[in-house]
Structure 1
Amino acid sequence: MQTKINKVELRNLEFDDYKELKNSMVESYPEMVGSYWREHHIEKLLSIFPEGQLVILVDGKVVGSALSLIVNENLVDKNHNYSDITGKYTFSTHNPKGDVLYGIDIFIHPNYRGLRLGRRLYDARKELCEQLNLKAIVFAGRIPNYGQHAATLTPKVYIEKVKRKELHDSVLSFQLSNDFHVIRVMKNYLEGDTDSKEFAVLLEWNNIYYDESPKLINLEKSVIRLGLVQWQMRQLNNLEALFEQCEFFVDVVSGYGSDFALFPELFAAPLMADYNHLSEADAIRELAKHSEPIRKRFQELAISYNINIITGSMPYLEKGTLYNVGFLCKRDGTSEMYSKIHVTPNEVQHWGMTGGSKIRTFDTDCGKIGIMICYDVEFPELSRLMADEGMNILFVPFLTDTQNAYTRVKHCAQARAIENECYVAIAGCVGNLPKVNNMDIQYAQSAVFTPSDFAFPSNGIKAEATTNTEMTLIVDVDLDLLKELHEHGSVRILKDRRKDLYEIKKINT
């Protein structure tokens, strides 16, 4: 490596680069005499796929290159060798309408190795793959150090040892560090590659942004706007007064273009004032009679304001059993019910509530979401099952009376965001209800939490409402950042679980 470098440039290959390209290639493959591209090869590549041919220049000198074709996925799936994939070096296999970017060569001049220039070429290939909306990058990588171990190790065992870093391979180790994964071993891949014993490793990098059938309308959004309602408990004379307050907030958050409106747990509790002369258990069962009319009104609001509404929660009687449930009212007019799985000791003791039995996620026009009510967020197994089903946003309507109760909800919600690599939105009630037994005081600070990595706020908090103040919180969350995190984060919690040692699964009920 030279001691002083003034400028490094990455750009597309030009035909005038050929002489320097050839010289660098000869220096890069000293063990393979005569293995360099001829002028007519480069001319052909530049005529059929110029954007796929890349070079690295150091102080104006070509010191590395990455050459590629677009091929059909079925061609890659078949057993093939280097001659097959290049059409016997005619590049007739190139198909502009194909779905895989196939790397046919990548090298760095020996004098310029150690500068991470190869990584730049790989990153540029990944960007190209994303820009062209191709499924993946695939290539067969040499394993030049295998020849030193061929007498004692099979290619499979050798590859596993390289993956575990028990052995180092100058090519394979580098490729694995660039997020490529092994598909299979290729035998008799490149004639004359004696160092690899003519074995190669077929490697793949998947484009997480690949869209198989792009739509012009109803395209799934990447940036989702959330509207959280921090609801003030206040005296309400009747159900219509509740509806008026609900519509006010739906109007506000939809006016800002929100995709979701999130209401808190048991936000309709002010209506229980009319039943305060009854026992707490009887009073909440009277409140449950309003749940179906509330669901219907929210369905109407979801349609008229073009917004998905998560209705917080409300008591719900089914065949004499009392549940704590809410509804996802979608802007297409449909609705689905979710139940609180874990009811608190207080809900059992004072109201006789029973926990629900369905753990599920919900499909929306903004992707897959999860919904858990308050205490549920303190049980990490639920959200992990949802994450396994592809949940990107977890909504948690809550109701807490004290700061320490809120602290449990807040910190558990933050933990769920980190461990499941998702966004978590929580919304609660504030204020006092002196005329409603067991619901007299509230404490809340609604918020949206994020994973903890470089693309997100350093404290994992996207936004927070003012404590104990009625307000709305409008927050944008970017689902593409989650995709990037799942594959390329500092840590990859969902991918790195030891499923060989433990698992979490639903039990059929």
Structure 2
Amino acid sequence: MIDSAKIELRNLKVQDYQELKVSMIKSYHKMPDEYWSKEEIRTLVNKFPEGQFCIIIDNKIAGCALSIIVDYGKFDDNHTYDEIIGGENFSTHTKNGDVLYGIDVFIHPEYRGMRLGRRLYEARKELCEQLNLKAIVFGGRIPNYAKYAAELTPKKYIEKVKLQEIHDPVLSFQLSNDFHVKKVIKGYLHGDFESKEYAVLMEWNNIYYVKEQKLIDTKKTVVRLGLVQWQMRSFSDYDALVSQIEFFVDAVSDYQSDFILFPELFNAPLMAQFNNLTEPEAIRGLSSYTDQLLQTFRDFAITYNINIITGSMPQAIGEHMYNVGYLCRRDGSYERYEKLHITPAEEAAWGMKGGSKLETFDTDCGKIGVLVCYDVEFPEVSRLLAEEGMNILFVPFMTDTQNGYSRVKICAQARAVENECYVAIAGSVGNLPKVNNMDIQYAQSAVLTPSDFAFPVNGIKAEATPNTESTLLVDVDLDLLKELHNFGSVRTMKDRRKDLYSLKKKK
């Protein structure tokens, strides 16, 4: 270990060859004749200079990583080392390839223990992303395998290394750097007796890889959400309600928002005209406006170029009453969602029935899900949506007391953590006189996040002032979710014990 060394990571130059040769011989002391010639290094540097990295410490080469780009579809996974590199001229290298293939990594013994290998691997990953390549692939040696070959097959050896029951200086390091085992190759590198000429084909997938970049119809990675914290108030008629809806849609769209979210049963003020009826009759009266509101929202989505999550509205279908809402896309299309879990109060007062429709929705900003209020308190439901690729969960809610609000918010935060997604919640505030069963409202709308280094430490991206009519405008970065899925401190979606339990929708 060098206590006060100056470390420089840069691209390799032909002029570095003499120092490189010394480092290679020291690194491969059990194969002292296996080092790159100067002409080979010259060819690599000339063909693909950005793919050759070295680490310099005190003017010495402490480590090196060499690579080429290949069209991987032209090779079988059972390739040999000589086949994949294309001989001393590296004839397989092509700028039109899709995979960064690692052909060598080594660290001088004097500088081991300084995590220099990690720096080289990170440089490769960054290059892979910059060049928009699909993956990094290489055949990794397993130099400790010879000690166990008499008792363990390569497969068993790899399993024990994964479980950290055996340490392999190469494979253990590669696994800790987010590479996964693709397969075992026999006869990969002639003369590698430590590995018994086996190699482990390793792969790291570039989550940012885009096969074909389009100028239009691409999915956005930074998405702007607009949440309406709706003030319950009396409206003289339907047109007055629509005017207030349009005010919010107009205001939020002026900020180039991609979505606007309204609360659950935001149109409840229109029930005042049915106050002389029983509660079940009044909610049926309110449901008579739902089809009109749907058309209004569809028109606004197109006019204001924004995707609208309409909160929820009552809808009578035959003798049953449902709590439903719509995703109105800015291209004019729309989808219907239903509240699945009905609270005891909704059932007692209005005779509400739970829906049966559960699915994610495709948008120009990726896959989303919508769960209405009480639904977010059932973790199985959002997990099913997450398994379908949901990135943002919208939760329109209506709660009368702070207790009810806390249930919604706390459960929504849990859904964000366990499903590695963003959760946007929006509710109504204030009082609504002359409407039975809708007297008071409490809400604090918010955008909630997973809990890891890339996100706020409290898991709250932004939140509105409690019990005050307002809008909340928040940008969420979908690329951060990709990072979390693959490289998070914990990976709740990947680490589930599917060998012990499973979850699926009933048909």
Amino acid in the other structure paired with 2:456: P
Amino acid in the other structure paired with 2:499: D
Amino acid in the other structure paired with 2:222: V
SS at match of 1:74: helix
- 1:210, 1:427 → 2: CA distance? 34
- 1:24, 1:317 → 2: CA distance? 78
- Identify the residue that residue 213 of structure 1 maps to in structure 2: 212
How many positions carry a matched residue from both structures?
Answer: 507
- Identify the residue that residue 185 of structure 2 maps to in structure 1: 186
Task: For 1:445-456, list aligned pairs within 5 A.
Answer: 445-456=444-455
**Deviation per residue, 1:364-406 (Å, 9 max, x gap):** 0000000000000000001100110000000000000000000
- Identify the residue that residue 419 of structure 2 maps to in structure 1: 420
1:109 equivalent in alignment to 2:108: yes
- 2:74, 2:185 → 1: CA distance? 14
Structure 1 residue 42 displacement after superposition = 0.7
SS at match of 2:89: coil
Structure 1 residue 34 displacement after superposition = 0.8
- 2:327, 2:452 → 1: CA distance? 30
- 1:56, 1:300 → 2: CA distance? 60
Structure 1 residue 434 displacement after superposition = 1.3
1:151 equivalent in alignment to 2:132: no
SS at match of 1:35: coil
The ranges of structure 1 where at least 4 consecutive aligned residues each deviate by more than 2 angstroms after the TM superposition are 75-78
Q: What runs of 5+ residues in structure 2 fail to find an aligned partner? A: none
Structure 1 residue 76 displacement after superposition = 4.5
1:250 equivalent in alignment to 2:249: yes
- Identify the residue that residue 487 of structure 1 maps to in structure 2: 486
- 2:218, 2:8 → 1: CA distance? 36
- Identify the residue that residue 353 of structure 1 maps to in structure 2: 352
1:5/1:58 contact within 8 Å kept: no
- 1:39, 1:260 → 2: CA distance? 58
Question: Which one is further off, 303-312 or 40-49?
Answer: 40-49
- 2:343, 2:255 → 1: CA distance? 35
Structure 1 residue 90 displacement after superposition = 2.2
Structure 1 residue 59 displacement after superposition = 2.2
SS at match of 1:162: helix
Amino acid in the other structure paired with 1:387: A
Amino acid in the other structure paired with 1:401: D
Task: For 1:262-277, list aligned pairs within 5 A.
Answer: 262-277=261-276
- Identify the residue that residue 238 of structure 1 maps to in structure 2: 237
1:263/1:312 contact within 8 Å kept: yes
Amino acid in the other structure paired with 1:196: S
Q: What runs of 5+ residues in structure 1 fail to find an aligned partner? A: none
Amino acid in the other structure paired with 1:273: A
SS at match of 1:415: helix
**Deviation per residue, 1:323-345 (Å, 9 max, x gap):** 00000000000111000010111
**Deviation per residue, 1:408-453 (Å, 9 max, x gap):** 0000000000000000000000011110000111000000000000
Amino acid in the other structure paired with 1:296: Q
- 1:167, 1:91 → 2: CA distance? 35
CA RMSD, Structure 1 to Structure 2 (Å): 0.8
**Deviation per residue, 1:64-121 (Å, 9 max, x gap):** 1110011112244431111111112321011110101000000100110110000000
**Deviation per residue, 1:151-193 (Å, 9 max, x gap):** 1111010000000111110100000000000010010111111
- Identify the residue that residue 260 of structure 1 maps to in structure 2: 259
SS at match of 2:288: helix
- Identify the residue that residue 222 of structure 2 maps to in structure 1: 223
- Identify the residue that residue 290 of structure 1 maps to in structure 2: 289
Residues 163 and 364 of structure 1: CA distance in aligned 2, closer, same or farther (over 3 Å): same
**Deviation per residue, 1:193-248 (Å, 9 max, x gap):** 11100001000000000111111123211110000000000001111111100000
- 1:219, 1:47 → 2: CA distance? 36
Q: TM-score, normalised by structure 1?
A: 0.99
- Identify the residue that residue 135 of structure 2 maps to in structure 1: 136
1:475 equivalent in alignment to 2:474: yes
1:163 equivalent in alignment to 2:134: no
SS at match of 1:434: coil
- 1:334, 1:44 → 2: CA distance? 56
- 2:108, 2:200 → 1: CA distance? 22
1:504 equivalent in alignment to 2:499: no
**Deviation per residue, 1:335-358 (Å, 9 max, x gap):** 110000101111111101111101
SS at match of 1:69: strand
- 1:59, 1:356 → 2: CA distance? 69
Structure 1 residue 318 displacement after superposition = 1.6
1:401 equivalent in alignment to 2:410: no
1:83/1:89 contact within 8 Å kept: no
Structure 1 residue 6 displacement after superposition = 3.0
- Identify the residue that residue 37 of structure 1 maps to in structure 2: 36
- 2:398, 2:472 → 1: CA distance? 17
State the identity as a percent.
Answer: 67
Task: For 1:300-315, list aligned pairs within 5 A.
Answer: 300-315=299-314
Amino acid in the other structure paired with 1:85: I
